[in-house]
Structure 1
Amino acid sequence: MDSQTLKRFCSLLIGVVSLICIFTGNSIAQEKPTSVYRFSIREEINASAWRTTQQAYLKAETANVDAILIEMNTFGGLVNFADSIRSKILDSPIKTIVYINHNAASAGALISLASDKIYMAKGSSIGAASVVDGQGEVMPEKYQSYMRALMRATAEATNRDPKIAEAFVDPDIDVPELKEKGKLLSLTSGEALKAGIADGEVSSINEILEHEGLENAVLIDHQITWVDSVIGFLTNPAVQGFLIVLIMGGIYFEISSPGIGLPFIVALVSGLLYFTPLYIEGFAANWEILLFIVGVILLALEIFVIPGFGIAGIAGIAFIICSFAFSMVPNDAFDFSLTEPNLLFRSFMLVVISIVGAIVLSVIFGRSILKTRAFKRLVLQDEQNSSKGYVSSVVDFSLIDKDGVARTDLRPSGKVEIDGKWYDAVALGGYIAKGTMVKVEKHENYNLFVRQKFEVPS
């Protein structure tokens, strides 16, 4: 075979191999099934919902899914966490589909507008996103202005009508075909579809997948871990109040009966259970935890070191109350602009009531708790009284005024030998060198107290 023929053969072989690789690669790519990651937002929009969203998007991106489906049924929640979820959806490269199954009010409407597609179950509604306090009262204009800007910017980012989005917040926005002026806008599933806010009115998730061409997709459901459940439980206000009672009760008992140990352990464990989930959720910052520690130190100094009750004690109590309350609400140092005023007030009230309750319960039931059989099992109750024959040491008066010799250097403690026996000794008057003659002056607490013996010249 000549060189020219060999070259043609090699070129043909390379071409065949390339075609095989292309077809094989295509078949492998076609074998990869499409997938959709699904999670739900059914509760109030809060730290737990934000944590679920973060974990769901992380797992979805790791699994390289084709779309994320959020099934929503919420009446709203905290604006700052809704904004965080909104930003997460907008920044994600994965297509996000929201399925409104009944309600997407207030913060739920903001999150829905951030998605690529919105589908609504028949009879569902979206809107009414005005910022209100815990009693349902409309908040001041600065909060409404911020929410209007969020809604408008979100709608613009997802190619929806910003005027309609703003009308969810502002009753003065005029949308004649959808609402009367002076009323907040809320849309039914049919109205949202006509207004271009929703992309479809469906009766099931399967219909959504068909509309999106994902009918053959594998549906991956987000799994809530036990850690998430525990964090959700510990951040419940009722549980937080109970933990504060245990913390303050433990501190009270430890200060009242120093050295017992058990109250300190109860306070320490309760403190960890209180602050740890809040720290994980992004509420409690380092400075807030430090504020609590400083408060406890100031309180202890006031009780044990500084006479009376003054500035240190008052400052300690104030620091402890502030650390508890500030840890419950989102803030940037002392910036609470995104925190509802009533939420901060409710946090302070919960802390104050819990602390007062802890003190009252400790005073009323403190002695009873110390006398319970269960408590006595954990704490040493026996006393070794001298009236029962217990003594720290027996004084041997026969050793007083006896002479001996230092068998080690006394600096000031060491060993001395008297009548052939060695004893622990303490030098009176300073250092005594090894081999020096000594005289016993007294015997206390298992130690002989000796002084160097000087020879009197004859």
Structure 2
Amino acid sequence: MNQKIILALLFIVFGCQVYAQDTDSLKTQVYTFKIFREIGSTSWIHTQEAFAEAEAMKADMILLHMNTYGGQVVFADSIRTKILNSHIPVHVFIDNNAASAGALISIACDSIYMRPGANIGAATVVNQSGEKMPDKYQSYMRSTIRATAEAHGKDTLVAGQDTTYVWRRNPHIAEAMVDESIYIENIVDTGKILTFTTLEAIEHGFCEGQANSIDDVLKKLKVYDYEITTFKPSFYDGLKGFLTSPILQGILILVIIGGIYFELQTPGVGFPLLAAAIAAVLYFSPLYIDGLAANWEIIIFIIGLVLIGLEVFVIPGFGVAGVSGIILVIGGLTLSLLDNDLFNFDGVGFNKLLEALGIVLSGLFGSLLGIIYLSKKLLSSPTFGARIALQTEENVELGYIGVEASLKNFVGSEAVAYTTLRPSGKITIDDEQYDAVAESGYIEKGTKVKVVRFLHGQLYVMTIK
């Protein structure tokens, strides 16, 4: 009897566990991650990590929690492409701001929810000082934001018509967030960049509704039984994002090239070479860990440096070795930024190639300018100038002469012209011949003369009357 009771209790406990597991499996798996900073390399790395984790856990949806004033277009474009190509639905909750690059990313999402008082728009491309970039940059952004809006297709019936659909996200309205020349009646006037408030975005199809929190967004999406997993970036993710910033990569290239140049100008092994080595490690390490920089790409960079060194120290002039070295250095630095498989560039777009080459060439150009500037500064510096170049002036008064100093002792002595002085020639003093110059006119051979002065290693004589 006791055994039957125990078995029954075990059956009940086991059944409850199975039921609980089944219940958990029925919950909607929601994966969330934040963009609460300027959009750049770190945001892009966090996005890739978040999507990979969401796919690994087989999440039912990804919910992006956004509050940003924008950032770099190249990384915003990568993030929006990731969202558009995701097989997991992606929704966004704009907590306060989705400006510029943030607007582009938000429009790529399957649905947009905004907190009351939030904003979306103002996607004109500007530089770091806030000045509007030339039209070729605006043209690219206009096309990108139009294509992003178009990607959601037409799914809304026009009132009173059965077969006419309108854009879910109107591409023309999206373009007005970039181009101030666009006029849309009752929406935006010419000369103004479009930015929507929450209610305006809802009215014109760029927001599905208001929400005050993540939980509120899920209710709007009719998700009531859910489990949330939040992306937590690691320290390495942040460090990698910092090191792979195009601006920092350009600076590292500048330090690599500049450090090697100044090391070649100074004797021994010192700080410039150490700085160049550290910069090279910081440049290649995150790229190598991520699988972008392959062994052979780093090797051709090193070979390029060796060829340049041979051209400078061993081979006279500047020829094949120097040019080949420069090509290999640029090639190694550029290829390390690309996700190529040896010489297979099928997965690398032309824009990515231009971007990588632009980063490297910008760094090299910056190195050239830095070398010219620092060379002048260091040569005039009392601390470093003496280590790079000779600073002492070789004055005769200080004993720096390249001729026999004892000749000045002949000043006042009598001599005989050994040859005709026209005006230079030879004289004899105590049966020894010396070069001399007539102080004035010509002096015939055999004439008695007197040494009147010694200047710049030369004896000057005049006729004895």
Pick the TM interval, shorter chain. Answer: 0.5 to 0.7
- Cα separation, partners in 2 of 1:333 and 1:91, compared to 1, 3 Å: closer
Give matches, 1:87-236, under 5 Å.
Answer: 87-158=81-152, 159-235=168-244
Q: 1:333 to 1:116 in 2, by over 3 A?
A: closer
**Do the aligned residues in 2 keep the contact of 1:47 with 1:281 (CA within 8 Å)?**
no
Q: Are the structure 2 counterparts of residues 131 and 92 from structure 1 closer, same or farther at C-alpha, using a change threshold of 3 Å?
A: same
User: Paired residue for 1:275?
Assistant: 284
Does residue 45 (structure 1) correspond to residue 45 (structure 2)? The answer is: no
Cα distance in 1 for partners of 2:29, 2:373 equals 53
Distance 1:203 1:369, change over 3 A: farther
1:167 Cα deviation (Å)?
1.6
Identity of aligned residues (%): 41
State the Cα distance separating 1:216 from its structure 2 match: 4.0
- The structure-2 alpha-carbon separation of the partners of 1:130 and 1:334, relative to structure 1 and needing over 3 Å to count, comes to same
Between the two proteins, the alignment pairs up a number of residues equal to: 348
Taking structure 1 as the reference length, the TM-score comes to 0.61
Q: Give the Cα separation in 2 of the matches to 1:219 and 1:153.
A: 31
Q: How does 1:54-73 map to 2 (within 5 A)?
A: 54-73=48-67
What is the aligned partner in structure 1 of residue 313 from structure 2? 304
Distance 1:131 1:341 in 2: 21
The letter for the 1-side match of 2:117 is G
Q: Which moved more, 1:349-358 or 1:207-216?
A: 349-358
**How far apart are the structure 2 equivalents of 1:251 and 1:88?**
41
Match of 2:255 among 227, 237, 245: 245
* 8 Å contact from structure 1 (residues 192, 198) kept in 2: yes
Distance in 2 (alpha carbons) for counterparts of 1:290 and 1:334: 24
TM-score normalized by the length of structure 2: 0.61
Q: How far off is 1:53 after superposition?
A: 1.0
Distance 2:249 2:373 in 1: 14
CA distance 1:285–1:149, shift in 2 (3 Å): farther
Q: Distance in 1 between matches of 2:276 and 2:314?
A: 22
- Give the aligned residue type for 1:147: M
Give the letter for the 1:179 counterpart.
V
Mark the runs of 5 or more structure 1 residues left unpaired by the alignment.
1-23, 371-458
Q: Give the 3 Å change call, closer, same or farther, for CA 170–242 of structure 1 in structure 2.
A: closer
Q: CA deviation at 1:255?
A: 7.8
**CA distances 1:382-430 after superposition (whole Å, capped 9, x unpaired):** xxxxxxxxxxxxxxxxxxxxxxxxxxxxxxxxxxxxxxxxxxxxxxxxx
Amino acid at match of 1:225: S
Structure 2 SS opposite 1:57: helix
Q: Distance in 2 between matches of 1:131 and 1:367?
A: 44
Structure 1 residue 345 displacement after superposition: 8.2
- C-alpha distance in 1 between matches for 2:264 and 2:49: 40
Whole-Å separation in 2 of the counterparts to 1:87 and 1:111: 9
Match of 2:7 in 1: none
C-alpha RMSD of matched pairs (Å): 4.4
Contact residue 252 and residue 283 of structure 2 kept, 8 A: no
* 1:296-351 deviation per Cα after TM superposition (whole angstroms, max 9, x unaligned): 12321122211356775577568757876897899969867975999888655544
Q: Tell me, which stretches of 5 or more residues in structure 2 are unaligned?
A: 1-16, 153-167, 340-344, 389-465
Report the alpha carbon displacement of residue 229 of structure 1 after superposing the two structures with TM. Answer: 2.1
The match for 1:31 is 24
